[in-house]
Structure 1
């Protein structure tokens, strides 16, 4: 997939596009028919667009994340009259299927919190990983000490090393499954927006 492009839209315009299958609003207050193209932005530009043109918006806004590869209209990088910075312009309606995500924007213009904060998610994930690591170490050392007392130093140390390596592989597998399950859940949630 090519790098996504972004478009700030009213929630009402996006709801209509989901019904009709096509998004045809160029920018705030102007249609594709009036403007000739749909204004878009790159990842580093959309917040500036939101601040310049939507700062006083009272209606709910969404950030449309668009896959250019799913568009049936050309995307042309152009500078506005008198400007030097280029922006992607979509010369045609945007199929609703080309919008990979519609992210609600809060009153401050930032993506609205969808539940838990990033910090709480991060701390939870790190706690799980640290807990699994601690269990692996305790089991490896405990069994290694048992083998050490029964069979001697070398056997005990080898047992500890083998169990640590096996524990690392098991933990990696658990984290891979956990990540895949979390990603699948996130994709399902985003596809319903």
Structure 2
């Protein structure tokens, strides 16, 4: 009986709500971005982004806690605005893109809304062949009709991950053990 109840609860959680709409992340129109920053020796910030990614999400403004999202990232698309550094970041010292060709985030739950309308998005991030749970602090930016007859919704979020948690142990110094991720997601309703 207990197993049956857990199975039913899991199915209820992962099911898409009847009124939820499905969205595709608008990366073709450059209305979405995955950015990162990490301290450089503790003296400044090195910033960059991933140029190639896609994803989809389900969202219902009346029941946002039932929303889900999946984002697929091409780690070889890392761009720190410096070709030699990007080559090193793609190497086995860091992302090892020849071996680990994809990175992925899959949501598992959304917390109760915070004051001001934000929420915590819980999920599993797979990077460098390692999957770990992460929590992204998310704010809804807005939603509505677009000028082309479609409907869009947008979110912004940020999180911080430890390189060693994902098997990246290249020593960048004590100030550079974590990477901050900043996400901007705009979806087009399907």
TM-score range, shorter chain: under 0.3
- Whose helix proportion is higher, 1 or 2? 1
TM superposition score normalised by structure 2: 0.20
TM superposition score normalised by structure 1: 0.19
Please say which structure displays the higher CA radius of gyration: 1
Bigger relative contact order, structure 1 or 2, given CA contacts below 8 A and separation 6+? 2
